[in-house]
Amino acid sequence: MDDDVSTCWRPFGSGGFGRQHTAVVTLCRVIFAVLLLTIPGLASADEEPDCSIATRLTKARPDPDGPPTPVRVAIRLIDVGGINEVTQEFIVDFFVLIRWQDLRLSAASRGSSLDECSVRFSDIWHPFLDIINQREIDSHYDDLVEIDADGSITYLQRFSGTLTSPLELHDFPFDRQTVSIRLASLAHGPDEIDLIIDESLTTRREGLPPDGWQIVDVTTELSTERFATADISVVRLEHKVIVDRLPGYYVWNVFVPLILIVFMAWTVFWIDPGHFGPQIAVSTAAALTLIAFLLSTRQLLPRIEYLTRADVVVLGSAILVFFALGEAVLTSNLAAHGRDGIARAIDRWSRVLYVIVFAVMLLVAVMA
């Protein structure tokens, strides 16, 4: 019997086999073939997994006649920057993770697992979530999904680029804005997919304040929007980033120079009305300085149709500077006609009134 066992493990096809060993060798070959087919790891390493997916599985969602398919979504914010008031855009970098289950792709249903296969996002049914407020966006990874043996599907992608977001600028530059990443499925309504926010994975990278802004909060909301023109309801996920503008740049580069120009014009009230030349020179210089300053800083202010807080300061300053010019012309004319007393009285009242109006304007613009 020992000779038979050694003969069984002798390399197949070697010489020296007699007819008396034929039955033993045949039995050994059968046993070895069965082991190759049934014991994992003994099969050929070159054997490819079965990654074929029926075309019909890309057409209909899992359990099309059943309840809405649960779809878990998470967004991880990497960076936010370049918030543009003029174009109503911002630059963002973020990850999107989408998970759902399709039992039709499980190992039990197929007879083999897809966990070692490279399956493209478009090769299977998916919830068709799209970034609906994108202006120019790039994806960084291949559109591949991971499919576990139980049919759980995970799609991870990193996006970066420009998104649009409406801004409310009445309080500029002391404003709080909300920019958002908006995802929606235009192919499936709330009766087909059930979006779920994965709170445990919806995070943001710490220490990413965008230039000139401070992040106050990040929230994610779900809503259903009705498109009357297409007669469809859309499930929408909105990842909101709430930011406060840091106004220091505008205070030092717009407000402070304006204040200096306004008080430059204010000095005209302290010049004797009889000195027509100095009065007109100072007030005209203040007006020209204001015009040159506004031309140089026009790119700093948002170009919108309504007044912001900054516009109130700019407009109020312009009115006061040209008021000082008009007052200088009036008092000089009065002094030239021998009415010095009235001219000096107007100057005295203007000194106080000018400062009060300017202070009230600043309080309204900054604190209202």
pLDDT at position 17 over 70: no
Domain boundary among 246, 271, 304: 246
Residue-wise pLDDT for 197-222, tens only, equals 998 888 887 766 667 788 888 899 99
Measured distance CA(246)–CA(4) in Å, rounded: 89
Q: What is the mean pLDDT of the chain?
A: 84
Interior/surface letters 190-213, b for 16+ CB within 10 angstroms, e for the rest? eebbbbebeeeebebeeeeebebb
Residue-wise pLDDT for 145-176, tens only, equals 999 999 999 999 999 999 999 999 999 999 99
Residue-wise pLDDT for 302-339, tens only, equals 888 888 999 999 999 999 999 999 999 999 889 888 88
Tell me: do 231 and 99 sit in the same domain.
Answer: yes
The parent domain of residue 136 ranges over 55-246
User: Where residue 9 falls among pLDDT bands split at 50, 70, 90?
Assistant: very low
Average pLDDT estimate for 171-183: 92
Measured distance CA(178)–CA(146) in Å, rounded: 34
Q: What is the pLDDT of residue 25?
A: 54
192 occurs within a structural domain: yes
44 occurs within a structural domain: no
From residue 118, alpha-carbon distances to 51, 96, 212, 245, 365 in Å are 8, 19, 43, 45, 59
253 occurs within a structural domain: yes
145 occurs within a structural domain: yes
User: Where residue 229 falls among pLDDT bands split at 50, 70, 90?
Assistant: low
Name the percent of the chain lying above pLDDT 90. 45
Domain boundary among 246, 278, 305: 246
Q: What is the CA radius of gyration of the chain?
A: 38
Residue-wise pLDDT for 261-290, tens only, equals 999 999 999 998 888 888 889 999 999 999
158 occurs within a structural domain: yes
Measured distance CA(113)–CA(68) in Å, rounded: 25
Tokens of 113: 């697992």
47 occurs within a structural domain: no
Tell me: do 192 and 274 sit in the same domain.
Answer: no
Q: What is the pLDDT of residue 353?
A: 95
Residue 230 maps to which CATH number? 2.70.170.10
Tell me: do 81 and 218 sit in the same domain.
Answer: yes
User: Where residue 45 falls among pLDDT bands split at 50, 70, 90?
Assistant: very low
Tell me: do 221 and 363 sit in the same domain.
Answer: no
Measured distance CA(351)–CA(267) in Å, rounded: 8
Q: What is the pLDDT of residue 356?
A: 95
Domain boundary among 246, 263, 291: 246
Residue-wise pLDDT for 67-125, tens only, equals 999 999 999 998 887 788 878 899 999 999 999 999 989 989 888 888 888 888 888 99
Average pLDDT estimate for 41-45: 46
* Element (DSSP H or E) covering residue 217: strand 213-227
Tell me: do 149 and 258 sit in the same domain.
Answer: no
Tell me: do 18 and 110 sit in the same domain.
Answer: no
177 occurs within a structural domain: yes
Alpha carbons within 13 A on the beta-carbon side of 92: 28
Tell me: do 233 and 261 sit in the same domain.
Answer: no
45 occurs within a structural domain: no
Residue of 231 and 95 predicted with greater confidence = 95
Tell me: do 257 and 241 sit in the same domain.
Answer: no
Tell me: do 238 and 256 sit in the same domain.
Answer: no
Q: What is the pLDDT of residue 303?
A: 82
pLDDT at position 227 over 60: yes
Tell me: do 177 and 277 sit in the same domain.
Answer: no
Tell me: do 160 and 239 sit in the same domain.
Answer: yes
Q: What is the pLDDT of residue 61?
A: 86
Measured distance CA(225)–CA(232) in Å, rounded: 9
Burial status of residue 255 (CB atoms within 10 A of its CB: 0-12, 13-18, 19 or more):
buried
Tell me: do 232 and 121 sit in the same domain.
Answer: yes
User: Where residue 23 falls among pLDDT bands split at 50, 70, 90?
Assistant: low
Number of structural domains, the chain? 3
